[in-house]
Copies of this chain bind each other. A is one copy, B any other.
Amino acid sequence: MRNLMLLVEYDGTDYQGFQWQMGRPTIQGELEKALEAVTGQRTRVIGAGRTDAGVHARGQVVSCRSGMALSPDQLRSALNARLPKDIAVKAISPAAEGFHARFAAKSREYRYTIWNSSVRSPLAWRYAFHFSKPLEAEAMHTACCSLIGTHDFASFGSRLWERGTTQRTVYRAECWREGDFVYVEVEANAFLAQMMRGVVGTLIWVGEGRLRPEDFQHILEARDRRLARNLAPPQGLCLTRIVY
């Protein structure tokens, strides 16, 4: 048995998220189905990030164990031939014994894309959230800088299991405009469930002028989920990179 590391890209529009669910289309389910078809063995995959329903990934990493004799490149081609067109394995490399895609990850990077124009865009709606009122990206950037560092992010997301902590460390947080697009990018050691969407939803209130950047920081410090209930929709979110 070998341990493998797979770099995976997907369009999450038609999936119920990464994690396997009985009878529903998920990224994990499709990857495991393709692995079983190619290798003849039931194979469990572990993803570095558990993306929600409708969220995309350009840099998801999964690990799995396989007894196959195929080279990584042959296995990649065989998997891509079986996977639906909205999921692809971009690269496969051998991983050290005991490598675990989730526990070994040093950080994750997510990018959120907002299409900020009075008119919706038929060419952007799958990968961007359309928000028609003008957003002040500089105020959003000022606000999101207060995320940097080690904080209790309870205002912006939920713990993943009952006894987990809501403390995380954000290494980088940026917001900027390029034409009609506004981007929010955050790199952290790990994310709470729905944390990125909670952050962006509240940043949008700052961008509209409904909150000041200081209010954003107060919401963070309050550690109260009820203060940040504007959850940005999933289609703007993309898991862009995992660092090991």
Is the beta-carbon distance between B123 and A127 smaller than 8 angstroms?
Answer: yes
Is the beta-carbon distance between B122 and A9 smaller than 8 angstroms?
Answer: yes
Q: Which residues of B contact A85 (CB under 8 A)?
A: 120, 122, 125
For the complex, give the distance between the alpha carbons of A9 and B11 in Å.
Answer: 22
Of A9, A87, A122, the most chain B CB neighbours within 10 A belong to A122
- Whether, in the assembled complex, A228 has its beta carbon less than 8 Å from a beta carbon of chain B, the answer is no
Protomer copies? 2
Q: Which residues of B contact A238 (CB under 8 A)?
A: 123
- Whether, in the assembled complex, A76 has its beta carbon less than 8 Å from a beta carbon of chain B, the answer is yes
- Whether, in the assembled complex, A86 has its beta carbon less than 8 Å from a beta carbon of chain B, the answer is yes
Q: Which residues of B contact A58 (CB under 8 A)?
A: 123
- Whether, in the assembled complex, A241 has its beta carbon less than 8 Å from a beta carbon of chain B, the answer is no
Q: Give the size of the chain A interface in residues (CB under 8 angstroms).
A: 23
Is the beta-carbon distance between B120 and A88 smaller than 8 angstroms?
Answer: yes
Is the beta-carbon distance between A119 and B11 smaller than 8 angstroms?
Answer: no
Q: Which residues of B contact A80 (CB under 8 A)?
A: 119-120
Q: Which residues of B contact A10 (CB under 8 A)?
A: 122-123
- A34 nearest CB across to chain B (Å): 13
Is the beta-carbon distance between B88 and A9 smaller than 8 angstroms?
Answer: no
For the complex, give the distance between the alpha carbons of A10 and B89 in Å.
Answer: 29
Q: Which residues of B contact A89 (CB under 8 A)?
A: 119
- Whether, in the assembled complex, A74 has its beta carbon less than 8 Å from a beta carbon of chain B, the answer is no
Produce 1/0 per residue, A7-41, CB < 8 A to B: 00111000000000000000000000000000000
Considering only residues 97-140 of chain A, those with a C-beta below 8 Å from chain B are 119-123, 125-127
Q: Which residues of B contact A197 (CB under 8 A)?
A: none
Considering only residues 38-89 of chain A, those with a C-beta below 8 Å from chain B are 56, 58, 76, 80, 85-89
| A-B contact list, 15 entries, CB within 8 Å | A9-B121, A9-B122, A9-B123, A10-B122, A11-B122, A11-B123, A56-B123, A76-B119, A80-B120, A85-B125, A86-B125, A87-B122, A88-B119, A88-B120, A91-B119
Q: Point out residues on A near B: beta carbons under 8 Å.
A: 9-11, 56, 58, 76, 80, 85-91, 119-123, 125-127, 238
